[in-house]
Amino acid sequence: MSGKVYFSVTMSLDGFMAPDDVPAEDLFTPKGRNDPRVRRWMTKWSELQAWLFPTRFFRENLGFGEGGEEGLDNDVARATFERTGASIMGRRMFDAGELSWPEDAPFHTPVFVLTHAPREPWVRKGGTTFHFVDDGIDSALDRAREAAGNRDVRISGGADTIQQYLDKGLIDEFSITLAPVLFGSGRRLFDRIDADRLALEQVRSDGSSRVTHLTYRVGKR
């Protein structure tokens, strides 16, 4: 019995899951951080993810130590982590993460990175191994399903990667944490998808004091 294929992202009320692109390598270097465009990216990203940072789970998982808030936001963050047996991500997301994740990377499962450049698996402390897949999204999904066992496969991001899986009808359900922020521009979660082929059913809707956690089942039509 294999698990579901899902994604879970935080989205601004106007539909963005990330600010306008800046070079990934600029996000995590002292030089980059003095660039106004990069500072703006950081500010907007932090506003979007503001619900997550105070949670106990987030602090634990990034190694920030004890403490943090309990409650719905924390439960959602923890449940998302616990259901996931393997993740798939695009190259750009990996590139940014490679520069920023702690040595004990926050996945603790196999992660399949879509890339055109073959590379040996990269083993991190704590159970995260990054595998580089250069033969397409179906192959990555096959490998992730096998690695996940009866847990779920998470399409981690970015938006491009999620859209590719969604458009191919490979997503069973998805969760959106809807944040009370407006971006005005950036990377849209739903972009270049064939909306006419997707039928959604709301299966969960829970508001915390900060955000709303939504889950939809995806059908075809």
Collect all residues with Cβ–Cβ distance below 8 Å to 150 and sequence separation of at least 6. 1, 2, 3, 85
Q: Which is nearer to its own copies, 151 or 210 (by Cβ)? A: 210
Pairing mode, strands 212-220 and 198-207: antiparallel
Q: Which stretch binds its own copies (CB under 8 A): 76-84, 100-108, 139-147, 197-205?
A: 197-205
What is the nearest approach in angstroms of its own copies to the Cβ of residue 175? 12
Instruction: Verify binding: residue 42, its own copies, rule CB under 8 A.
Output: no
Tokens of 187: 């990377």
94 touching its own copies, by CB under 8 A: no
Residue count, binding to its own copies (CB under 8 A): 33
Residue 182 binds its own copies, judged by CB under 8 A: yes
For residues 121-158, b (16+ Cβ closer than 10 Å) or e, as one string? eeebeeebbbbbbeeebeebbebbbebbeebbbbbbbb
> In this chain, which of 4, 15, 26, 164 binds its own copies, going by CB under 8 A?
15
Q: Which among 10, 21, 5 is positioned nearest to 92, based on CA atoms?
A: 21
Sheet with strand 84-89: strands edge to edge: 122-123, 129-133, 110-114, 84-89, 152-157, 5-12, 173-179, 212-220, 198-207
Shortest approach of its own copies to residue 155 CB, angstroms?
17
Q: What single-letter DSSP state applies at residue 145? A: H
Per-residue binder mask for its own copies (CB under 8 A), 132-171, x = binder:
----------------------------------------
CB distance 187 to 22 below 8 Å? no
| Candidate residues 42, 62, 79, 214; the one interacting with its own copies per rule CB under 8 A | 214
Decide whether 129 or 215 has the Cβ nearer to its own copies.
215
Query: Least distance from C-beta 193 to its own copies, angstroms?
Result: 7
| Coil, helix or strand at residue 130 | strand
Q: Say whether residue 41 binds its own copies (CB under 8 A).
A: no
User: Which residue's CB is nearer to its own copies, number 123 or number 200?
Assistant: 200
Site membership for its own copies, residue 219 (CB under 8 A): no
187 binds its own copies (CB under 8 A): no
The dihedral sign for the CA sequence 80, 85, 89, 91: positive
Binding residues vs its own copies (CB under 8 A): 13-15, 176, 178, 180-185, 188-190, 193-196, 198, 200-202, 204-212, 214, 216
